[in-house]
Amino acid sequence: MTEPANHAAPSERTRVRRIPTNAHYDTATLHAIIDDAYLCHIAFADEKGAHCIPTACWREGNHLYIHGSNGSRMLKRLTESETCVTITHLDGLVMARSAFNHSMNYRSAMIYGRFEVVADEAERRSTMAAFMEKLVPGRQAEIRPGSDKEFAATTVMRIALGEAACKVRSGPPEDDEEDMNWPVWAGVLPFERVAMKPVVDPQCTQPAPAYVVSWQKW
């Protein structure tokens, strides 16, 4: 079912306590969970309490990147305090024989630390290009590039992936021995994020490139 934890937690606050056998602390698992995501949820606290904000993200090397307007409240707060970034993929509903052994299959990653502003102009531009390349490989060369004014109005931030923990559940339900003969179907109802038919902008007069034509999964 689940592989054993393959490394120790990098810190006390990343040590998984609930079902620690589902914990993963290796880089490959962490990178795979991030790279399969288009957005993350970021928790931070200010004088109004805790906030949980969804935002687009991407990875380069051992950092997770986000961006936003210079005026963003969240971006300002993120350099001032520790934060927790979480990504969760729901992979299925786990149907057990007993009510309390029902579960969900998922892959989640939590990253702790502090964001830093990417100040170097060349690095800002190159990582924004990497973001576009993640969204749609090949599109960067076709679009109207960002202007100096647009780049100047945008803040790019990153957080190191050194203090992170992943938790993964996969596979069938796990019922107690005495429930195994309960007369009910047991198994997993899987979910997938599926690419649907592209919707052309009504004002678009350009032909669809290969990546648009091939977008629809079925």
Q: Is the CB of residue 74 less than 8 Å from the CB of residue 83?
A: no
Pairing of strands 164-169, 58-60: unpaired
Residue 18 DSSP class: S
Tokens of 146: 């960002």
Number of residues that bind its own copies (CB under 8 A): 92
Residue 31 is a binding residue for its own copies (CB under 8 A): no
Sheet-wide strand order for 103-113: 23-24, 164-169, 103-113, 83-95, 39-46, 49-56
- Stretch 79-138 residues interacting with its own copies (CB under 8 A): 81-86, 88, 90, 92-93, 95-100, 102, 104, 106, 108, 110, 112, 128, 132, 135-136
5 or 84: CB nearest its own copies: 84
Part in contact with its own copies (CB under 8 A); list of ranges 2-10, 25-33, 116-124, 188-196: 188-196
Using CA atoms, how far apart are residues 175 and 170, in angstroms rounded to an integer? 14
Part in contact with its own copies (CB under 8 A); list of ranges 1-9, 25-33, 58-66, 68-76: 68-76
Residue 21 DSSP class: G
- Stretch 45-64 residues interacting with its own copies (CB under 8 A): 45, 48-54, 56
Q: Is the CB of residue 104 less than 8 Å from the CB of residue 88?
A: no
Using CA atoms, how far apart are residues 3 and 174, in angstroms rounded to an integer? 15
Going from the C-alpha of 59 to that of each of 112, 114, 126, 159, the distances in angstroms are: 15, 16, 12, 10
25 or 106: CB nearest its own copies: 106
Beta partners for residue 39, in sequence order? 56
- The only residue of 42, 159, 161, 166 in contact with its own copies, by rule CB under 8 A: 42
Closest distance to its own copies from the beta carbon of 76 (Å): 12
61 or 138: CB nearest its own copies: 138
Residue 154 is a binding residue for its own copies (CB under 8 A): yes
Contacts with its own copies, 1-30, as mask; x by CB under 8 A: -----------xx---xx------------
Residue 76 is a binding residue for its own copies (CB under 8 A): no
Residue 172 is a binding residue for its own copies (CB under 8 A): yes
